[in-house]
Amino acid sequence: MTDFLHLLSYLRQPLVGAFTGYVTTDVAIRLLFHPLKPWHLFGVRIPLTPGVFPAKRYEFAEKVGVMVGSHLFTSDDVRQALQKEEFRRELKGAVDGKIDRLFAREMGTLESLFPVDFQRWLRDLVDQMRHRGMEEVYRYLESDPCAAEVRRLLHEMEDALLARDLHSLVTPEQDEMLRRRLSETVGEFLHSRQVTVALAALVDRKVEEIYASETPLGAILPEGTADAVASMLEQELQSAAEALTSGPEFRALLSAKIRESLRSAVGSLRGVPGFFAKFVDPDWLISQFPDFTQKIEQEMAAWLRDERTQEQISEALRDRVDLFLSRPWSELLSGLPYRRLAALRRLARMKVLRMLRGRQLAASVTAAVESNLDRLRERTLGELLKDMLSDPGVERVREEIAAEVLAALRSPVSRQTLEKSVSEKVEEMVFQRPIGHLSAFLPVQARDELTEAVLQQLSELLVKELPPLVDTLNIRKIVEDKVNALDIVAMEGLLLDIMKESFMFLNLFGAFLGFLIGIANEILPGFG
């Protein structure tokens, strides 16, 4: 116990010195921030009040501002930071994210993209832009350059069109449809009421003209018709004679005529022959000669086949035909009653209409039209137009077309139509139609190119414009004002949190110095 007290007597001053050094250092650290305001004693300000930071806060803020603005955050530092690869990667990621969200978002109308406060002015702005745009369009339409451009475009289009043939203007499907439609149109035309009425009137008029005509029938018919009719009648007459002489009807008729002739001959006898003839029956007489009728038939057939007989018949027929064809229509038809003539007129109408509505005529007309069209298809439109018009006529037509087009473009009706159409389109596109997803309008490649373009423009903008902005921002003043605006207690807590470990070592170092001083006082009593 005595040894412990003796040891404690040696450690008393070092322990007191260590405690004094620790407390003194801690008080000195706290005096950096406290007191916050100056203290006075009997009207005299106590030294070290307020604390170092409260007393020198404005000088501290100024020095910090100078240090940050002139050394820590300069325009060159910003420019170098913007050009670093890490910053470009971060910026690219941010741009990619923004564009991805933009493309994935369901966009409303174009009007909805603007702030609400600006939307009320948007319509006026759109109307003004539309009005100015339409005025520029109208002014251009009235100008000579517009007329020259329209003529040039029309001439180019006309030259290209006139150099093409009809065949190149239609596809095989259109050609087939055209042919089918042509056949239907021809059939509808031939069966139409207008054609029927017109053709019936034409037939009636021609019949009346023929009835009143003094022209011989042979003068109306084509040359050689008389020979053709005579030859046809000869053939028909020969065939009819052969058929007649070989038929049972002819035999019966011939037998009847022979009996009638015999009766007439017997009845004409007078005197004794007449007396005995009364007892002769013609039928009995014919029965006594069974081959008599057949021989007569054979003789008649041989006579009809005889060349001389045929020449006589032919000459007689030709004479009758020539006589018939030499008579005028009015003489041929004068003996016909009106009822018979009306029947002939109806018959002619019926025959003509039946021929008109027949498939053969429709097919012939269609084939003729198609044949002409096929020939025309091999020729160019320019060749066809030159056939219809002369070269000056073609140029005149082209100038008239250009004048008509310009007049149509400059007419009040076109202006009203154009303005109405533009107004409706602008109203729909800006105020009614939703934009939808931008990804539906732009492919992936365009999106990547857009990202690169935005990144490039943004990088150039930041590198070019941000460093000068740093100089104009007066970072020094901003930092100074921020430091001055800080609460001293908050700044004390901030510094204590940051330098907590350092302040602890300072306190321990103060205690260590006090401990050393206490040991020195024990070892060197004279110094104490």
- Burial group, residue 28, by CB count within 10 angstroms (0-12, 13-18, 19+): middle
Phi, psi angles (nearest 5°) of residue 44: -105, 130
CA 177 to mean position of chain CA atoms: 22
What does the alpha-carbon distance between residue 74 and residue 471 come to, in Å, rounded to a whole number?
Answer: 7
Residue 360 inside a domain? The answer is no
- Judge contact between 242 and 304, C-beta under 8 A: yes
Three-state SS for 421?
helix
Task: For strands 40-41 and 44-45, give the pairing.
Answer: antiparallel
348-355, long-range: CB within 8 Å, 24+ apart, which pairs? Answer: 348/203, 348/207, 349/199, 349/200, 349/203, 349/204, 352/199, 352/203, 353/196, 353/199, 353/200
368-374, long-range: CB within 8 Å, 24+ apart, which pairs? Answer: 369/182, 369/186, 370/179, 370/182, 373/166
Q: Of the candidates 293, 327, 361, which is a domain's last residue?
A: 327
Closest CA to 328 of 243, 179, 210, 178: 210
Structure pTM?
Answer: 0.35
Q: Of the candidates 327, 343, 378, which is a domain's last residue?
A: 327
| CB atoms near residue 491 (< 10 Å) | 16
pLDDT for 527 equals 47
pLDDT for 84 equals 75
State which residues form the domain around 236: 222-327
Angular region, 358: left φ>0, alpha ψ -120 to 50, beta rest: beta
Residue 508 inside a domain? The answer is yes
Residue 425 inside a domain? The answer is no
pLDDT for 363 equals 73
pLDDT for 109 equals 74
What does the alpha-carbon distance between residue 31 and residue 35 come to, in Å, rounded to a whole number?
Answer: 7
What does the alpha-carbon distance between residue 282 and residue 234 come to, in Å, rounded to a whole number?
Answer: 37
Phi, psi angles (nearest 5°) of residue 165: -95, 165
Residue 320 inside a domain? The answer is yes
Residue whose entry in the numeric block shows the structure tokens 């006082």: 521
What is the DSSP code (8-state) at residue 27? H
Q: Of the candidates 288, 304, 327, which is a domain's last residue?
A: 327
Residue 275 inside a domain? The answer is yes
What is the DSSP code (8-state) at residue 222? P
Closest CA to 415 of 127, 141, 123: 141
Residue 211 inside a domain? The answer is no
pLDDT for 276 equals 44
pLDDT for 120 equals 73
What does the alpha-carbon distance between residue 33 and residue 35 come to, in Å, rounded to a whole number?
Answer: 6
Residue 379 inside a domain? The answer is no
Print the SS3 string covering 361-377: HHHHHHHHHHHHHHHHH
How would you write the pLDDT of the chain (528 residues) with one tens digit per residue? 566 566 666 677 777 777 887 788 777 777 666 776 777 777 777 776 776 667 666 777 777 777 776 666 666 766 777 677 777 777 777 877 777 777 777 777 777 767 777 777 777 888 888 888 888 888 888 888 888 888 888 777 767 766 666 666 667 777 677 777 777 776 777 677 777 777 777 777 776 666 666 666 556 555 655 566 666 656 655 565 555 555 555 556 555 655 565 555 555 545 444 444 454 555 555 555 555 556 665 666 666 566 676 666 666 766 666 666 666 656 656 666 667 667 766 776 777 667 666 666 667 777 776 676 666 666 666 666 666 666 666 677 778 888 888 888 888 888 888 888 888 888 787 777 777 666 666 676 777 777 778 777 777 777 776 667 666 666 767 776 777 777 777 776 766 676 667 777 777 787 788 778 777 777 776 444
Residue 147 inside a domain? The answer is no
What is the DSSP code (8-state) at residue 306? -
pLDDT for 274 equals 47
CA 158 to mean position of chain CA atoms: 23
Total domain count, the chain: 2
